[in-house]
């Protein structure tokens, strides 16, 4: 927790008394001692001023609301609530009913349609999934996931034990393909083709990146996004064209 400046404190952050006043409308029994206890348990981490006073952000208040509601409405123990908060911090969505924990965003599970340029060039990892969460969301078994990792189709993020949204899309797509008897070992050619496409895009954008100025780098990112989307469109069209003669027999 970093200390905060007096200017940012007065403009955006709340004292513990102000937080208590906001919470009491919905949680009449909450006290300053309760808020301090939840902080001591690691469920909320307010900033501190140079003088040591707690200062809470809007996100801290929402976090406290989640904890208090989970205790009051669902009688969840703090350990379970803490696990839920960790999942929410990793990009999962709150549960939509009482007996479930946070879930993978449905938008990440849906794989219909082709991505446009805006889908490329963004940093992966808007979610961070545990192995169990990835298996459940992708509807994949442990053996299949191990094979995907063996063939380089799925991997945890560098320096982490978590998987990002790209890994989820790959794993779920492979799970859907398995219904037709296609196994991970059959998909090594997809990875090799993708690596070649990446290499081609890098050849185009590398001269821009080497210019080392913000305008050139921004242009490099734009070109990379456009070429990535075009390569997906080309790949899809070629597969369709290749299948058409066989299907028309």
- Read off the pLDDT of residues 23-72 as tens digits, 9 standing for 90 and up: 999 999 999 999 999 999 999 999 999 999 999 999 999 999 999 998 99
d(CA 185, CA 149): 11
Proportion of the chain above pLDDT 70, given as a percent: 83
CATH number reported for the structural domain that contains residue 29 in this entry: 1.10.1660.10
Whole-number mean pLDDT of the chain?
84
Q: Can you read off the two tokens belonging to residue 167?
A: 């890994």
Domain interval for residue 60: 3-89
Q: Considering all CA atoms of the chain, what is the largest pairwise distance in Å, rounded to the nearest integer?
A: 80
Domain count within the chain: 2
Residue 107 included in any domain: no
223 in the same domain as 150: yes
Q: E strand or H helix at 10, and its extent?
A: helix 6-12
Is pLDDT above 70 for 4? no
Q: Are 70 and 77 in contact (CB under 8 A)?
A: no
d(CA 190, CA 196): 10
What size, in residues, is the chain? 249
46 in the same domain as 135: no
What pTM did the predictor assign?
0.65
139 in the same domain as 37: no
DSSP string, 136-194: HHHT--HHHHHHHHHTTS--PPTT-S-B-HHHHHHHHHHHHHGGGT--GGGGHHHHHHH
Q: Which residue has the tokens 């050849």?
A: 203
* 11 against 228, higher pLDDT: 228
124 in the same domain as 82: no
Residues 6+ apart with CB under 8 A from 225: 117, 118, 119, 120, 121
């Amino acid at each position: 927790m970093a200390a905060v400046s007096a200017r940012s404190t007065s403009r955006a952050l709340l004292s513990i008394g102000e937080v208590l006043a906001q919470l009491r409308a919905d949680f009449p029994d909450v006290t300053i001692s309760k808020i301090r206890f939840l902080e001591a348990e690691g469920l909320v981490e307010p900033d501190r001023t140079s003088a040591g006073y707690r200062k809470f952000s809007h996100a801290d208040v929402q976090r406290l609301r989640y904890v208090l509601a989970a205790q009051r409405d669902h009688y969840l123990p703090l350990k379970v609530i803490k696990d839920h908060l960790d999942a929410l911090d990793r990009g999962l969505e709150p549960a939509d009913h009482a007996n479930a924990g946070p879930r993978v965003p449905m938008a990440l599970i849906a794989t219909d349609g082709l991505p446009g340029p805006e889908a490329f060039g963004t940093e992966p990892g808007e979610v961070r999934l545990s192995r169990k969460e990835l298996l459940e969301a992708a509807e994949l078994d442990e053996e299949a996931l191990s094979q995907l990792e063996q063939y380089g189709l799925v991997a945890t993020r560098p320096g982490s034990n978590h998987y990002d949204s790209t890994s989820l899309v790959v794993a779920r797509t492979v799970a859907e393909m398995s219904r037709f008897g296609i196994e991970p070992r059959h998909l090594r050619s997809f990875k090799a083709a993708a690596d070649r496409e990446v290499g081609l895009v890098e050849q185009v954008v590398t001269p821009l990146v080497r210019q080392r100025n913000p305008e050139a780098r921004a242009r490099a990112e734009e070109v990379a996004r456009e070429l990535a989307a075009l390569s997906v469109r080309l790949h899809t069209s070629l597969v369709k064209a290749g299948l058409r003669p066989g299907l028309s027999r």
